[in-house]
Protein backbone atom coordinates (compact mmCIF):
# COMPACT_ATOMS: atom_id res chain seq x y z
CA UNK A 1 0.00 0.00 0.00
CA UNK A 2 1.53 3.39 -1.03
CA UNK A 3 2.95 5.69 1.64
CA UNK A 4 3.03 2.95 4.26
CA UNK A 5 5.80 3.96 6.68
CA UNK A 6 8.96 1.88 6.85
CA UNK A 7 11.91 1.66 9.19
CA UNK A 8 15.43 1.85 7.80
CA UNK A 9 18.05 0.33 10.11
CA UNK A 10 21.81 -0.02 9.67
CA UNK A 11 22.74 -2.77 12.10
CA UNK A 12 25.83 -4.05 13.86
CA UNK A 13 26.18 -1.31 16.54
CA UNK A 14 26.09 -2.26 20.25
CA UNK A 15 23.48 -0.13 22.00
CA UNK A 16 24.87 1.98 24.85
CA UNK A 17 23.03 4.15 27.39
CA UNK A 18 19.61 4.39 29.01
CA UNK A 19 16.09 3.97 27.62
CA UNK A 20 13.04 5.01 29.67
CA UNK A 21 9.86 2.94 29.40
CA UNK A 22 6.48 4.60 28.78
CA UNK A 23 3.14 3.71 30.39
CA UNK A 24 1.62 0.34 29.50
CA UNK A 25 -0.58 0.07 26.38
CA UNK A 26 -2.34 -2.98 27.82
CA UNK A 27 -3.20 -1.07 31.00
CA UNK A 28 -4.07 2.24 29.31
CA UNK A 29 -6.75 0.65 27.06
CA UNK A 30 -8.90 -1.00 29.81
CA UNK A 31 -8.34 1.98 32.15
CA UNK A 32 -9.64 4.39 29.50
CA UNK A 33 -12.76 2.21 29.16
CA UNK A 34 -13.16 2.18 32.97
CA UNK A 35 -13.31 6.00 33.02
CA UNK A 36 -16.72 5.69 31.31
CA UNK A 37 -18.12 4.08 34.48
CA UNK A 38 -18.45 7.55 36.08
CA UNK A 39 -20.00 10.85 35.09
CA UNK A 40 -17.06 12.67 36.70
CA UNK A 41 -13.61 13.13 35.14
CA UNK A 42 -10.82 10.58 35.47
CA UNK A 43 -7.44 12.23 34.84
CA UNK A 44 -4.52 10.17 33.48
CA UNK A 45 -1.14 11.85 33.84
CA UNK A 46 0.91 9.54 31.60
CA UNK A 47 -1.18 8.22 28.72
CA UNK A 48 1.28 6.75 26.17
CA UNK A 49 1.25 8.58 22.82
CA UNK A 50 0.62 5.51 20.67
CA UNK A 51 -1.82 4.76 17.85
CA UNK A 52 -3.91 2.30 19.87
CA UNK A 53 -4.60 4.96 22.52
CA UNK A 54 -5.55 7.49 19.83
CA UNK A 55 -7.97 4.96 18.28
CA UNK A 56 -9.47 4.07 21.69
CA UNK A 57 -10.05 7.78 22.44
CA UNK A 58 -11.86 8.07 19.08
CA UNK A 59 -14.15 5.12 19.89
CA UNK A 60 -14.82 6.56 23.37
CA UNK A 61 -15.95 9.85 21.81
CA UNK A 62 -18.23 7.88 19.45
CA UNK A 63 -20.18 6.44 22.41
CA UNK A 64 -20.52 9.86 24.02
CA UNK A 65 -17.43 9.82 26.23
CA UNK A 66 -15.79 13.22 26.73
CA UNK A 67 -12.03 13.58 26.41
CA UNK A 68 -9.97 16.69 27.20
CA UNK A 69 -6.20 17.16 26.89
CA UNK A 70 -5.04 19.34 29.76
CA UNK A 71 -2.25 21.87 29.28
CA UNK A 72 0.45 19.64 30.86
CA UNK A 73 -0.23 16.61 28.65
CA UNK A 74 -2.60 14.95 31.08
CA UNK A 75 -5.92 13.67 29.75
CA UNK A 76 -9.34 13.95 31.41
CA UNK A 77 -11.94 11.35 30.39
CA UNK A 78 -15.58 11.05 31.56
CA UNK A 79 -18.74 9.10 30.79
CA UNK A 80 -21.05 12.04 31.59
CA UNK A 81 -22.81 11.85 28.22
CA UNK A 82 -22.40 8.12 27.65
CA UNK A 83 -24.95 6.94 25.07
CA UNK A 84 -24.91 3.25 24.16
CA UNK A 85 -27.44 3.72 21.34
CA UNK A 86 -24.94 5.65 19.25
CA UNK A 87 -23.63 3.74 16.25
CA UNK A 88 -19.81 3.30 16.26
CA UNK A 89 -18.40 3.04 12.70
CA UNK A 90 -17.37 -0.53 11.95
CA UNK A 91 -13.95 0.42 10.55
CA UNK A 92 -13.10 2.33 13.74
CA UNK A 93 -13.87 -0.65 15.99
CA UNK A 94 -11.97 -2.99 13.73
CA UNK A 95 -8.95 -0.68 14.00
CA UNK A 96 -8.71 -1.30 17.74
CA UNK A 97 -9.59 -4.79 19.08
CA UNK A 98 -9.61 -3.46 22.64
CA UNK A 99 -12.77 -1.51 21.85
CA UNK A 100 -14.54 -4.67 23.02
CA UNK A 101 -13.55 -3.48 26.54
CA UNK A 102 -16.29 -0.86 26.25
CA UNK A 103 -18.95 -3.58 26.50
CA UNK A 104 -18.62 -3.89 30.29
CA UNK A 105 -18.95 -0.15 31.08
CA UNK A 106 -21.80 0.30 28.53
CA UNK A 107 -23.80 -2.60 30.00
CA UNK A 108 -23.12 -1.44 33.57
CA UNK A 109 -24.15 2.19 32.94
CA UNK A 110 -26.69 1.97 30.12
CA UNK A 111 -28.04 -1.61 30.21
CA UNK A 112 -27.21 -2.04 26.55
CA UNK A 113 -24.31 -2.23 24.12
CA UNK A 114 -24.23 -2.41 20.35
CA UNK A 115 -20.68 -2.72 19.01
CA UNK A 116 -19.08 -4.19 15.93
CA UNK A 117 -17.29 -7.47 16.57
CA UNK A 118 -13.54 -6.79 16.54
CA UNK A 119 -13.01 -9.97 14.48
CA UNK A 120 -9.88 -12.04 14.34
CA UNK A 121 -6.42 -10.60 13.77
CA UNK A 122 -3.19 -11.89 12.27
CA UNK A 123 -2.18 -13.68 15.49
CA UNK A 124 -5.30 -15.78 15.99
CA UNK A 125 -9.08 -16.15 16.11
CA UNK A 126 -9.40 -14.17 19.36
CA UNK A 127 -12.70 -15.53 20.71
CA UNK A 128 -15.16 -13.51 22.84
CA UNK A 129 -17.15 -16.41 24.33
CA UNK A 130 -15.83 -15.82 27.86
CA UNK A 131 -16.85 -12.14 27.77
CA UNK A 132 -20.35 -13.14 26.65
CA UNK A 133 -20.50 -15.92 29.25
CA UNK A 134 -19.73 -13.35 31.95
CA UNK A 135 -22.31 -10.83 30.76
CA UNK A 136 -24.97 -13.52 30.52
CA UNK A 137 -24.22 -14.62 34.09
CA UNK A 138 -24.57 -10.98 35.25
CA UNK A 139 -28.11 -10.97 33.85
CA UNK A 140 -27.75 -10.07 30.16
CA UNK A 141 -29.97 -12.84 28.75
CA UNK A 142 -30.54 -10.87 25.53
CA UNK A 143 -27.04 -10.92 24.03
CA UNK A 144 -26.35 -11.99 20.46
CA UNK A 145 -23.81 -11.71 17.68
CA UNK A 146 -25.51 -10.86 14.41
CA UNK A 147 -24.48 -9.04 11.26
CA UNK A 148 -20.98 -8.68 12.68
CA UNK A 149 -22.29 -6.85 15.74
CA UNK A 150 -22.58 -7.73 19.41
CA UNK A 151 -26.02 -6.59 20.56
CA UNK A 152 -26.66 -6.85 24.27
CA UNK A 153 -29.43 -5.72 26.58
CA UNK A 154 -29.42 -6.28 30.31
CA UNK A 155 -31.04 -5.20 33.56
CA UNK A 156 -29.96 -2.05 35.42
CA UNK A 157 -28.32 -2.72 37.71
CA UNK A 158 -26.68 -5.98 36.59
CA UNK A 159 -26.93 -8.83 39.13
CA UNK A 160 -23.80 -9.97 41.03
CA UNK A 161 -22.97 -13.71 40.73
CA UNK A 162 -20.14 -16.27 40.57
CA UNK A 163 -18.44 -16.70 37.18
CA UNK A 164 -15.91 -19.46 36.51
CA UNK A 165 -13.90 -18.66 33.38
CA UNK A 166 -12.98 -21.59 31.11
CA UNK A 167 -9.95 -19.62 29.88
CA UNK A 168 -8.01 -17.13 32.07
CA UNK A 169 -8.70 -14.43 29.48
CA UNK A 170 -7.24 -10.97 30.21
CA UNK A 171 -9.95 -9.12 28.30
CA UNK A 172 -12.86 -11.13 29.71
CA UNK A 173 -11.57 -10.67 33.28
CA UNK A 174 -11.29 -6.90 32.72
CA UNK A 175 -14.72 -6.58 31.04
CA UNK A 176 -16.52 -8.57 33.75
CA UNK A 177 -14.69 -6.66 36.52
CA UNK A 178 -15.86 -3.33 35.04
CA UNK A 179 -19.45 -4.55 34.49
CA UNK A 180 -19.68 -5.91 38.05
CA UNK A 181 -18.54 -2.69 39.78
CA UNK A 182 -22.07 -1.20 39.47
CA UNK A 183 -24.00 -4.49 39.81
CA UNK A 184 -26.35 -5.32 42.69
CA UNK A 185 -24.58 -7.67 45.09
CA UNK A 186 -21.24 -9.42 44.90
CA UNK A 187 -19.55 -10.96 41.86
CA UNK A 188 -16.76 -13.52 42.11
CA UNK A 189 -14.58 -14.27 39.07
CA UNK A 190 -12.84 -17.66 39.35
CA UNK A 191 -9.91 -18.70 37.10
CA UNK A 192 -9.38 -14.99 36.52
CA UNK A 193 -6.36 -13.74 34.56
CA UNK A 194 -3.55 -12.44 36.85
CA UNK A 195 -1.74 -9.94 34.63
CA UNK A 196 -0.35 -6.74 36.29
CA UNK A 197 -2.62 -4.67 34.02
CA UNK A 198 -5.62 -6.21 35.82
CA UNK A 199 -4.20 -5.12 39.18
CA UNK A 200 -3.76 -1.59 37.78
CA UNK A 201 -7.43 -1.65 36.66
CA UNK A 202 -8.52 -2.74 40.17
CA UNK A 203 -6.44 0.07 41.71
CA UNK A 204 -8.04 2.70 39.46
CA UNK A 205 -11.58 1.38 40.04
CA UNK A 206 -11.08 1.31 43.81
CA UNK A 207 -9.88 4.92 43.68
CA UNK A 208 -13.16 5.64 41.83
CA UNK A 209 -15.05 4.13 44.78
CA UNK A 210 -15.39 0.49 43.72
CA UNK A 211 -14.95 -2.44 46.15
CA UNK A 212 -12.69 -4.97 44.43
CA UNK A 213 -10.28 -7.47 46.00
CA UNK A 214 -8.05 -10.21 44.63
CA UNK A 215 -6.76 -8.82 41.31
CA UNK A 216 -3.43 -10.51 40.61
CA UNK A 217 -4.80 -13.81 41.93
CA UNK A 218 -7.18 -16.22 40.15
CA UNK A 219 -10.13 -15.23 42.36
CA UNK A 220 -11.43 -11.65 42.12
CA UNK A 221 -14.30 -10.39 44.32
CA UNK A 222 -16.34 -7.30 43.34
CA UNK A 223 -18.98 -5.87 45.69
CA UNK A 224 -21.23 -3.73 43.53
CA UNK A 225 -21.74 -0.04 44.38
CA UNK A 226 -24.38 2.47 43.19
CA UNK A 227 -22.06 5.11 41.74
CA UNK A 228 -18.42 5.74 40.94
CA UNK A 229 -16.54 9.02 41.13
CA UNK A 230 -13.69 10.79 39.34
CA UNK A 231 -10.03 10.49 40.35
CA UNK A 232 -6.52 10.84 38.91
CA UNK A 233 -4.19 7.99 38.06
CA UNK A 234 -0.68 7.13 36.84
CA UNK A 235 -0.61 4.04 34.63
CA UNK A 236 1.97 1.28 35.33
CA UNK A 237 5.08 1.04 33.12
CA UNK A 238 4.84 -1.15 30.00
CA UNK A 239 6.46 -4.49 30.89
CA UNK A 240 6.42 -5.64 27.25
CA UNK A 241 8.10 -2.45 26.05
CA UNK A 242 10.64 -2.98 28.86
CA UNK A 243 11.25 -6.59 27.78
CA UNK A 244 11.67 -5.48 24.16
CA UNK A 245 14.41 -3.00 25.14
CA UNK A 246 16.21 -5.58 27.30
CA UNK A 247 16.33 -7.95 24.31
CA UNK A 248 17.54 -5.05 22.10
CA UNK A 249 20.48 -4.56 24.46
CA UNK A 250 21.32 -8.29 24.35
CA UNK A 251 20.87 -8.80 20.58
CA UNK A 252 23.33 -5.93 19.89
CA UNK A 253 25.81 -7.20 22.53
CA UNK A 254 25.51 -3.74 24.10
CA UNK A 255 25.33 -2.28 27.60
CA UNK A 256 21.83 -0.89 28.02
CA UNK A 257 19.94 0.33 31.06
CA UNK A 258 16.17 0.20 30.85
CA UNK A 259 14.55 2.58 33.34
CA UNK A 260 11.01 2.93 34.76
CA UNK A 261 10.53 -0.83 35.17
CA UNK A 262 8.77 -2.83 37.91
CA UNK A 263 11.25 -5.76 37.99
CA UNK A 264 8.65 -8.19 39.36
CA UNK A 265 6.54 -7.64 36.22
CA UNK A 266 9.34 -8.85 33.92
CA UNK A 267 10.65 -11.76 36.03
CA UNK A 268 9.79 -14.41 33.41
CA UNK A 269 11.81 -12.40 30.87
CA UNK A 270 14.85 -11.71 33.09
CA UNK A 271 14.87 -15.33 34.29
CA UNK A 272 15.03 -16.54 30.67
CA UNK A 273 17.84 -14.07 29.82
CA UNK A 274 19.85 -15.24 32.84
CA UNK A 275 19.21 -18.88 31.86
CA UNK A 276 20.82 -18.01 28.50
CA UNK A 277 23.85 -16.64 30.36
CA UNK A 278 23.13 -12.90 30.07
CA UNK A 279 24.55 -10.79 32.93
CA UNK A 280 21.96 -8.40 34.42
CA UNK A 281 21.94 -5.78 37.15
CA UNK A 282 18.42 -5.45 38.59
CA UNK A 283 17.69 -2.25 40.54
CA UNK A 284 14.47 -0.93 42.13
CA UNK A 285 13.18 0.62 38.90
CA UNK A 286 15.84 -0.23 36.33
CA UNK A 287 17.60 -3.22 34.75
CA UNK A 288 20.98 -3.13 32.98
CA UNK A 289 22.13 -5.76 30.49
CA UNK A 290 25.85 -6.23 29.86
CA UNK A 291 27.82 -7.42 26.79
CA UNK A 292 28.17 -11.21 26.54
CA UNK A 293 30.19 -11.70 23.31
CA UNK A 294 27.73 -14.40 22.37
CA UNK A 295 28.79 -16.77 25.15
CA UNK A 296 25.10 -17.62 25.36
CA UNK A 297 23.19 -20.91 25.66
CA UNK A 298 20.17 -22.05 23.60
CA UNK A 299 16.95 -22.25 25.65
CA UNK A 300 13.35 -23.48 25.38
CA UNK A 301 10.39 -21.16 25.84
CA UNK A 302 6.69 -21.97 26.36
CA UNK A 303 4.32 -19.01 26.41
CA UNK A 304 1.89 -19.01 29.34
CA UNK A 305 -0.53 -16.64 31.05
CA UNK A 306 1.11 -14.35 33.66
CA UNK A 307 3.33 -14.97 35.61
CA UNK A 308 4.49 -17.43 32.92
CA UNK A 309 6.51 -16.35 29.86
CA UNK A 310 4.48 -13.65 28.02
CA UNK A 311 3.28 -14.41 24.50
CA UNK A 312 3.89 -10.69 23.74
CA UNK A 313 7.66 -11.30 24.16
CA UNK A 314 7.80 -14.47 22.09
CA UNK A 315 8.71 -12.86 18.74
CA UNK A 316 11.42 -10.63 20.23
CA UNK A 317 13.09 -13.63 21.91
CA UNK A 318 12.84 -15.57 18.64
CA UNK A 319 14.84 -12.81 16.93
CA UNK A 320 17.51 -13.04 19.65
CA UNK A 321 17.68 -16.85 19.60
CA UNK A 322 18.42 -16.83 15.85
CA UNK A 323 21.97 -15.75 16.83
CA UNK A 324 22.46 -18.05 19.84
CA UNK A 325 24.52 -21.19 19.12
CA UNK A 326 22.57 -24.49 19.27
CA UNK A 327 18.87 -25.38 18.87
CA UNK A 328 16.25 -23.37 20.78
CA UNK A 329 12.54 -24.27 20.91
CA UNK A 330 9.65 -21.84 21.27
CA UNK A 331 6.12 -23.21 21.88
CA UNK A 332 3.31 -20.68 21.48
CA UNK A 333 0.39 -21.74 23.72
CA UNK A 334 -1.77 -18.60 23.76
CA UNK A 335 -2.38 -17.58 20.11
CA UNK A 336 -2.58 -20.18 17.36
CA UNK A 337 -1.09 -18.02 14.57
CA UNK A 338 1.68 -16.02 16.21
CA UNK A 339 4.70 -17.08 14.11
CA UNK A 340 4.22 -14.49 11.36
CA UNK A 341 7.75 -13.20 11.93
CA UNK A 342 9.35 -16.56 10.99
CA UNK A 343 9.55 -16.22 7.17
CA UNK A 344 10.75 -12.61 7.56
CA UNK A 345 13.51 -13.56 10.03
CA UNK A 346 14.56 -16.32 7.63
CA UNK A 347 14.87 -13.62 4.92
CA UNK A 348 17.56 -12.05 7.18
CA UNK A 349 19.44 -15.34 7.17
CA UNK A 350 17.94 -17.03 10.24
CA UNK A 351 17.27 -20.79 10.31
CA UNK A 352 13.81 -21.40 11.78
CA UNK A 353 11.32 -24.22 11.13
CA UNK A 354 7.87 -24.44 12.68
CA UNK A 355 5.60 -27.41 13.36
CA UNK A 356 2.36 -27.68 15.38
CA UNK A 357 2.82 -24.48 17.33
CA UNK A 358 6.53 -25.00 18.02
CA UNK A 359 9.40 -23.15 16.35
CA UNK A 360 12.80 -24.84 16.06
CA UNK A 361 15.54 -22.17 15.90
CA UNK A 362 19.05 -23.21 14.82
CA UNK A 363 21.49 -20.46 15.84
CA UNK A 364 23.44 -18.86 12.98
CA UNK A 365 26.67 -16.83 13.08
CA UNK A 366 25.11 -13.67 11.64
CA UNK A 367 22.06 -12.03 10.11
CA UNK A 368 22.28 -9.93 6.96
CA UNK A 369 20.12 -6.87 6.25
CA UNK A 370 17.16 -7.22 3.82
CA UNK A 371 13.64 -5.90 3.13
CA UNK A 372 11.15 -7.50 5.51
CA UNK A 373 7.48 -6.90 6.25
CA UNK A 374 5.72 -6.63 9.59
CA UNK A 375 2.30 -8.26 10.09
CA UNK A 376 1.53 -7.38 13.71
CA UNK A 377 2.81 -5.30 16.63
CA UNK A 378 5.26 -7.72 18.26
CA UNK A 379 6.44 -9.19 14.95
CA UNK A 380 7.33 -5.61 13.95
CA UNK A 381 9.36 -5.17 17.14
CA UNK A 382 11.17 -8.49 16.52
CA UNK A 383 12.11 -7.48 12.97
CA UNK A 384 13.41 -4.11 14.20
CA UNK A 385 15.58 -5.86 16.82
CA UNK A 386 16.88 -8.31 14.20
CA UNK A 387 17.68 -5.32 11.97
CA UNK A 388 19.73 -3.77 14.82
CA UNK A 389 21.85 -6.95 14.94
CA UNK A 390 22.07 -7.66 11.20
CA UNK A 391 25.00 -6.64 9.06
CA UNK A 392 24.11 -3.88 6.58
CA UNK A 393 20.77 -2.23 5.95
CA UNK A 394 17.35 -3.64 6.86
CA UNK A 395 14.05 -2.11 5.73
CA UNK A 396 11.04 -3.02 7.87
CA UNK A 397 7.76 -2.35 6.01
CA UNK A 398 4.35 -1.71 7.60
CA UNK A 399 5.62 -0.12 10.79
CA UNK A 400 2.16 1.24 11.46
CA UNK A 401 1.93 -1.99 13.45
CA UNK A 402 4.89 -0.89 15.60
CA UNK A 403 3.46 2.57 16.19
CA UNK A 404 0.30 1.02 17.56
CA UNK A 405 2.13 0.03 20.73
CA UNK A 406 5.58 1.67 21.08
CA UNK A 407 5.89 5.38 21.94
CA UNK A 408 8.76 7.24 20.18
CA UNK A 409 10.43 3.97 19.15
CA UNK A 410 12.89 5.53 16.67
CA UNK A 411 13.78 8.45 18.97
CA UNK A 412 14.43 6.18 21.94
CA UNK A 413 16.76 3.87 19.96
CA UNK A 414 18.67 6.68 18.27
CA UNK A 415 19.41 8.08 21.75
CA UNK A 416 21.31 4.88 22.61
CA UNK A 417 23.32 4.73 19.40
CA UNK A 418 21.08 2.93 16.91
CA UNK A 419 21.25 3.97 13.26
CA UNK A 420 17.52 3.95 12.56
CA UNK A 421 15.09 6.26 10.76
CA UNK A 422 11.46 6.31 9.72
CA UNK A 423 10.95 6.59 5.96
CA UNK A 424 7.68 6.81 4.09
CA UNK A 425 7.23 4.24 1.32
CA UNK A 426 6.95 5.21 -2.36
Selected from 172, 183, 208, 389, the binder of ligand EPZ by CB under 6 A is 172
Residues 381-420 that bind ligand EPZ (CB under 6 A): 405
Q: Is 29 in the site for ligand EPZ (CB under 6 A)?
A: yes
Closest CA to 357 of 330, 378, 379: 330
Residue 217 DSSP symbol: B
Q: Which is nearer to ligand EPZ, 62 or 100 (CB)?
A: 100
The contacts of residue 302 (CB under 8 Å, 6+ apart) are 308, 309, 330, 331, 333
Task: Give every strand in the sheet of 286-289, ordered side by side.
Answer: 16-20, 255-259, 286-289, 280-282
Site mask for ligand EPZ (CB under 6 A), range 97-116, x = bound: -x------------------
Q: Could you tell me the smallest distance in angstroms from the CB atom of residue 170 to ligand EPZ?
A: 4
406 CB-side CA count, 13 A: 28
Question: Closest approach of Cβ 48 to ligand EPZ, in Å?
Answer: 12
Vertex 235: Cα angle to 233 and 237 (nearest 5): 155
Phi, psi dihedral angles at 35 (to 5 degrees) = -60, -25
Site for ligand EPZ in 262-281 (CB under 6 A): none
Helix (H, G, I), strand (E, B) or coil at 353: strand
# residues contacting ligand EPZ (CB under 6 A): 25
- Yes or no: say if 81 and 68 are a contact pair by the CB < 8 Å rule: no
Residue 222 beta carbon to ligand EPZ: minimum distance, rounded to whole angstroms: 18
Q: Of 31-39, 123-131, 229-237, 322-330, which segment contacts ligand EPZ by CB under 6 A?
A: 123-131
Please say if 121 is a catalytic residue. yes
Angle at 354 between CA 352 and CA 356, to 5 degrees: 165
167 binds ligand EPZ (CB under 6 A): yes
The reply to whether 196 sits near ligand EPZ by the rule CB under 6 A is no
**Contact status, residue 57 vs residue 32, Cβ threshold 8 Å:** yes
Span near ligand EPZ by CB under 6 A; candidates 103-111, 170-178, 221-229, 355-363: 170-178
Instruction: Tell me how far apart the alpha carbons of residues 396 and 374 are, in angstroms, rounded to a whole number.
Output: 7
Q: Given the rule CB under 6 A, which of 25-33, 201-209, 243-251, 410-418 is the region that contacts ligand EPZ?
A: 25-33
For ligand EPZ, the binding residue among 169, 187, 253, 270 (CB under 6 A) is 169
In the complex, least distance from residue 162 CB atom to ligand EPZ, rounded to whole angstroms: 18
Q: Which helix (H) or strand (E) holds 342?
A: helix 341-347
Helix axes 377-389 and 239-251, enclosed angle (nearest 10)? 20
Q: Considering only residues 326-365, where is the footprint of ligand EPZ by CB under 6 A?
A: 334-335
Active site members: 121
Residues of the shown chain interacting with ligand EPZ in the complex, contacts defined by CB under 6 A: 25-26, 29, 98, 124-131, 167, 169-172, 193, 311-312, 334-335, 377-378, 405
Amino acid sequence: MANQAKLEIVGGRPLQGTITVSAAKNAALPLLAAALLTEEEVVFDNLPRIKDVEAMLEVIQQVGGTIRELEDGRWAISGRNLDASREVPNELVRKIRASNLLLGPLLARCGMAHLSMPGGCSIGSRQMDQHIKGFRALGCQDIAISGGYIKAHGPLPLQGTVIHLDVASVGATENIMMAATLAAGTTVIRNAAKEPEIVDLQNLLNKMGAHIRGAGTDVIKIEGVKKLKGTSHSIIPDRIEAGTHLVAGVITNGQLTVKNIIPEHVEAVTAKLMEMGVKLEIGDDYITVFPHDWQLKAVDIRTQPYPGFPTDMQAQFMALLTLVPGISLITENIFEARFNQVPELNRLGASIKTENGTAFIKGVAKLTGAEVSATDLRAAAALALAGLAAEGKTIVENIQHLERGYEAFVEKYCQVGAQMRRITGS
